[in-house]
Amino acid sequence: MALLHVHALATPGLADAGDRDKAYLHVSVIDVAGNAVTGLTTSNITIHSAQVAAGGAALVESSVYGPGSAPGFYLVQLVPAGSYSWKAGVFVVGVTVTRGSDRGQTLASFTVG
């Protein structure tokens, strides 16, 4: 098992309190040698709701796009689970990335207005 270096930046994107538009999670993944990790899909990137705004729902991935602007970059679109809408406040997202037995994780946060 080897370590994957995972970095993430979250933005509210189009999400606003009361709607179900997508928030964005930008994820960068490199291996221990500094090489971009390519070919990842939704089965490799797992989202964990570490904190949701008061009255808010857990977050789920609506889709994963990659590579992004360059190899090793991915865009994960997030929405509230079920039929819930966004609540105003801070959301903290845990991101776990796996590739075979390789693994890495990080946290990112964003605020919905």
At residue 53, the 3 state secondary structure works out as coil
Q: What is the edge-to-edge ordering of all strands in the sheet holding 59-65? A: 5-11, 23-30, 73-80, 59-65
CATH fourth-level superfamily of 5-112: Immunoglobulins (2.60.40.10)
pLDDT exceeds cutoff 80 at 68: no
Please list the residues that pair with 110 across neighbouring strands.
Answer: 91
Domain boundaries, the chain: 5-112
Other C-beta atoms lying within 10 Å of the C-beta of residue 43 = 8
Per the listing, tokens 């809408």 go with: 85
**Full-model pTM:** 0.94
Chain segment 84-106, per-residue pLDDT in tens: 999 999 999 999 999 999 999 99
